[in-house]
Structure 1
């Protein structure tokens, strides 16, 4: 079993996925706007499988998205972090937040912490973000992180029909920007 980390920022706690995250995660994926660019609306049993997938990935590989907890309230507000499923176009730092957490800068704050983690702890030389071409909000997050559009891309099955844009940056670009 691989040890799992806990990251903290000024406003957030990032920790591995736990079963207690299920209800809020299911709320997020029941919301049409929130689920639009991350596979569409999902029934709670499907979300349960996603929670189990993330928890299992932490256990088996030490790499999975963090559950993001708002410090002030203790509530789960999303999932952000490193992710590299089989056949993915590269090592990714991705994000998805519950709609009641939108507009607070949490995606950038959490993604920045996990970019540091991906480069400094995981040793990744490069990070991508696979973003739906119509997802203007995620493109703004990527830009605020210092990432740039690289190319059109494709995800593996079962998402091969969804065109994405690949955004990203190298560890050296990230470190130069963070100085």
Structure 2
């Protein structure tokens, strides 16, 4: 059952999380390097709680991160999209893909669709990406999307001690950058 929008790109389908995606998400949550900057690797039961949070946010907020599906294979690639947990510094477009899909441009392709969705459908006045100062790969993606480091910000508990910078751009800056893609 689809409980939200379906976004289609050249290689990807973005849709709300579904029950059949959970095993792949739980596997991603065990990948130390993948999870290093997005909450840390965790057990299947902790992954379940995260998964239900992502799915539930669609019902509570009307948006959340999408499941990213590779069109050619139907494989679950990762999760990315608009996200605003209670106490977050601002609405965010976050991204994370499984190790086996890293380096293929899927995070960029999906993030472009998610940023379009946030600006044009959700009517966000700005985009933000919360990025650990040591996460150079995520910083490179944020730069490619047109965001700039606006400096340190703070996440709510239990992440309040995590170092994080807010990478931002206005809706108008996004629309201008979007013409380049």
Distance 1:160 1:142 in 2: 22
For structure 1, list consecutive stretches of 5 or more residues without a partner in the other structure. none
Q: Which residue of 2 aligns with 1:91?
A: 91
For structure 2, list consecutive stretches of 5 or more residues without a partner in the other structure. none
Q: Which residue of 1 aligns with 2:82?
A: 82
Work out the number of aligned pairs and report it: 178
**Which 4+ residue blocks in structure 1 deviate beyond 2 angstroms?**
none
Once the two structures are superposed, residues 104-152 of structure 1 have per-residue CA deviations (whole angstroms, 9 ceiling, x without a partner) of: 0011100000100000000000110000111010001101101111111
TM-score using structure 1 length: 0.97
Report if aligned partners of 1:18, 1:51 keep a CA contact under 8 Å in 2. no
Once the two structures are superposed, residues 50-105 of structure 1 have per-residue CA deviations (whole angstroms, 9 ceiling, x without a partner) of: 11111111122211000000011101010010001111011100001000000000
Q: What is the aligned-residue RMSD (CA, Å)?
A: 1.1
**2:125 pairs with 1:125:** yes
**2:44 pairs with 1:31:** no
Report if aligned partners of 1:5, 1:16 keep a CA contact under 8 Å in 2. yes
Distance 1:76 1:56 in 2: 19
Which deviates the most, 56-65 or 97-106? 56-65
Q: Which residue of 2 aligns with 1:9?
A: 9
Q: Which residue of 2 aligns with 1:73?
A: 73
TM-score using structure 2 length: 0.96
